[in-house]
Structure 1
Amino acid sequence: MSRRRTKPRLPDQPVMATIESLSHDGRGVTHVGGKAVFVDGALPGEAISFLYTRRSRKHDEAKLCELFGASPDRVEPRCAAFSICGGCSLQHLLPERQILAKQQTLLDNLQRIGKVEPETVLDALTGPVWSYRNKARLGVKHVRKKGRVLVGFREKRASYIADIQRCEVLHESVGPRLGQLACLIQQMDARDRIAQIEVAVGDNASVLVFRNLDALSDADTRKLIDYARETGLHIYLQPGGPDSIRLLWPETSELFYRLPEYDATLAFLPTDFTQVNPAINQLMVRQALQLLEVDKNDCVLDLFCGIGNFTLPLARSAARVTGVEGDAALVRRARDNAAANGVENADYYAVDLNGDPTAQPWMRQRYDKILLDPPRSGAQELVAHLGGLGAARIVYVSCHPASLARDAGVFVHDLGYRLVSAGVMDMFPHTAHVESMALFERKRG
């Protein structure tokens, strides 16, 4: 007869501690009896008391109970739901200290995982810290016990939708309207069958994509159209996968953003991947091209090219650019964007970059420069094959410092490159996400 394990009872008395450091996800770190404790809402140097929320063999988790000595870097969070919403984790820390913490996370990962250090640390790329986010996926839930619908992000380390009325980091066309959207869905027949709302904002319009699990009634359709007319938001419905989206209002809708420094306009669909922070994207593209030192004689390879965010600017300076992307729909968009911008020196390939690329025609060419912008998982399968392409410079744009550090180790220790420089970009202020860029240069001799 098996015995059911019971969870150990958590101590119900506050524990005194001093916070030693900040974890990668924005929690304060202290040690009790040699064991790490991660404390929500605490900052390095602060004297606090905490209550345990979870205990495990390797580490414990806790929440801040009382603050006895506040850090000089502590600020009052702007968001009323900061303590419960999982969308942000660092609003209580000065923005300039947030970016320093992210820079240290990057350097620690490079040293610990990749066993490499940059010769130069790049200045952080920073921009607006409020209303900056142009892309988001909002959860929707009709909570019967509360008798209302919630729209927003998940709670911290929980699957529930946080009870919030507005979001301070979402674009101003959408962020103040979360409570309004919840009331709208509450009035719909389909209140139990709207799963999420995808937000996409371009230079010309703001779009909401409603994920409707069933066909909408005529009354619900009318409510959405009336709301769209009232607010000016463009509304799409998505009854199935990404290919199923259809425009509800207005009659025509096209999203685009501009990169004026390169005379480029990029059209995209609401469900396409685009960078969430347009101000940082402008700075990121500029820095990448500066680091690559592209000239009119260069052949450049742009890996994970998406809709052409780097490809089109590269094509303005290079002899030829080859863009490669795993999503065939994004490649079609990239080709269309090249044509619309009069770019004739760019070629595109739709190829799964998680496999062996050696048989691909674009791998049989030599390149002067390479840019890669992989997903969170990095480019482990691909990186080992890049050494034979002859590139003098490689710029790696990363959304996960551990993946970058792992791949940087291959470039430096196996492929004969130096890590010339690396630095962070504040793509997601007030969150623990670390976006970064690194420059690798082939060693001479």
Structure 2
Amino acid sequence: MSETSPRRPGRRTIARHGHLSQPSLLSRVMRWLGIAMACVLVAGVGVAAYAAWDFSATFAADAQELEGQDTSPPDIGQLVNDEGVDLLLTGIDICEWDSHEKFGDRCPTERSAYGDDGRQLEAGLNDVNLLVHISPEPRKVSVVAFPRDLMGPMPECTNSETGEVTPASDRRMLNEAYAAGGLACVAKSIDSITTQYDPELAIDYAATVTWNGVIEITNALGGVEVCVDQTINDVDAGMLYLEPGTHTLVGEQALAFLRSRHGVGGGDLARISNQQVYMSSLARKLMSAETLTNPGTLLSLARTTVSNVDPSAQLTPITLVQIAMAASSVPLSDIEFLQYPVLEDPLDRNRVVSDEAAAAQLFGLISANQSVIPEEQVAASPEPSQPEAPVESETPTPEVSETPTATAAPAPGRTAEDTSCSNPIG
């Protein structure tokens, strides 16, 4: 994979934190109107966040510039109308002092292990990596989940805090990118995969969400309903126990469901399936009139979002409003949650590598603004009619069904209108 894949005009190659100025009154008003409809979907330690008023400058306090981006953001109208918008959402596996007791031995208990911002000093892992592509008209939203255990090339990255440079590698695990160079390195790593299929899939904006963000955002919504096929019993994921059926998940239970691996067969790919169930349900709830017409719910979402979501420097309040407007009319049937196609790593059965052929097909469909998940083809039932009397001298000729065989999707996934249960444990 080339590290010099073509980019959209105006991108440069320096990654660093960018502290933004205090937002104006207009910015506050625009953000108040803003993210309620924007498709910001993070899960796993990730979840969706569509919302937010700007009650403080915390939303921009830790903003980080992506490599190769101009100080002036790209024209959102051109991106939406001609090229689409690509947004990276990353769930960080990192502890926070205010919520560390919720995770038992998983988080340090000494305050000295946390920085002034309350976050664990030890570098976190990008355990959830979602590329959200909003296409031009006719609008579609494709959310591609890249497995944390994906092995492959990683570009050179610089840690913006320490200045330490991590050299390029032909083989590293994807979830090491955040520790190597923060959000910018995760974006650069995903870009190196997607832009080989289409340069226009380069990431325009990015954001991260923490464990606590998952908990608080889920609580702000009053919980998210999920359906499971088989019992999930996972001590390592917060003592999670769910019997087959439908459950409304809140707080730590929601995070445990998104993080559970041992309860769904032990693998990251099975966990992604659970995450897709959660995200499709979350999308339905966020886009429902019940949520969008409830000022109290939206206010709560706003407060939790500004406290738990860190954007890239280009993801400004006005840009969020524009992205929201672009995504607001997309029907649930055209919001697809997909898993990046992978094969078992021949060098390590606990890791995966890219399925190049399927990935080329996947991103070819996304670039062409076509649905990745084929529409179910069901033969129409004929109107009932009175049977004719049989003729004894004739042998009935059986009818042959002409129902076409549905084309298989190049990647596992579901649409936001899919209310089926999570896949059984394999």
TM range (shorter): under 0.3
| Greater share of residues in helix | 2
TM-score, reference length from structure 1 = 0.25
Q: Higher RCO, 1 or 2 (CA under 8 Å, sep at least 6)?
A: 2
TM-score, reference length from structure 2 = 0.26
| Greater share of residues in strand | 1
Flag the structure with larger Rg.
1
